[in-house]
Amino acid sequence: MMRRRFTLAIALVVASSASNAGNVARAYVDEARNVHVVTSAGKDLQLTSDRQAEDVRLSADGESVAWLVLPPADADGEQDPAELRIFRRGRTRSIRCEPVIRDYWFWKRGTHIVIDCGGRHFAGREILYDVRTMKKIASFDQAQVPLAERPKWSASQPGSD
């Protein structure tokens, strides 16, 4: 009997998560630096409680939310994020890149995400990931590829989505 109730509870959680997929209307960081999503039905869900979020973005398809994770400040008071978290369909996963994730953006309405990773003041790498699988698809070294020859998913290309 207990096993049956547990199985039913798991099924309800999975069904609820699946029904909310693609229904994120808005995402934001609160004053305490935690991430929230607001569903199309108006329900506000707090995703984090670690108080380290910055620069939250919602994909164009409304299925993914991404944000940078700020580490504790260094000796100079700097907080350089080296982790990006992505919430999609009830699951949060992360991408790490050292020394700093300088920027990130969704591509192709949110099916892909790109990070610009490197030091604060010199060329780095742009890396393209599939959001569904979180697998790296492609990357290039910014110092080695001229602007005119960069792929369409690069931020330096006009019309990148």
Within a domain: 33: no
Q: Is the residue at 118 inside a domain?
A: yes
**pLDDT tens digits, one per residue of 11-26:** 334 334 444 446 899 9
What total of structural domains would you count in the chain? 1
Residue 10 lies in a domain: no
Q: How far apart are CA 149 and CA 161, in angstroms?
A: 17
Determine the pLDDT at residue 76: 77
Range of the domain at 103: 57-149
Does residue 86 register a pLDDT over 90? yes
In percent, how much of the chain has pLDDT > 70? 83
Burial letters for 82-95: b for 16+ Cβ neighbours within 10 Å, e otherwise?
bbbbbbbeeeeeeb
Asked if residue 29 is part of any domain, the answer here is no
- Asked whether residue 102 is assigned to any structural domain, the reply reads yes
CA distance 158 to 161: 9
